[in-house]
Amino acid sequence: MGSQTGATAAPGVTKMRVSQIENGDATSVEVLARYIEAIGGRLELTATFDDGTYRMGDATAAM
């Protein structure tokens, strides 16, 4: 996993926002997606129902 230094190198991710995310205070999926991208990952969402699991797509596509 990346570090605050790597995350804050990405546009739109401040040290304060990284701290909030790491403390469980993320405010939206978009914020989480930007943070995860900044540390080298990609956020994917799935919804699980009795009849199956559905991938919601790349969370950053709506940004």
Global pTM?
A: 0.52
Tens of pLDDT, residue by residue over 31-46, are: 888 888 888 999 888 8
- Residue 15: the pLDDT is 83
**Contact at 8 Å (CB) between 8 and 22?**
no
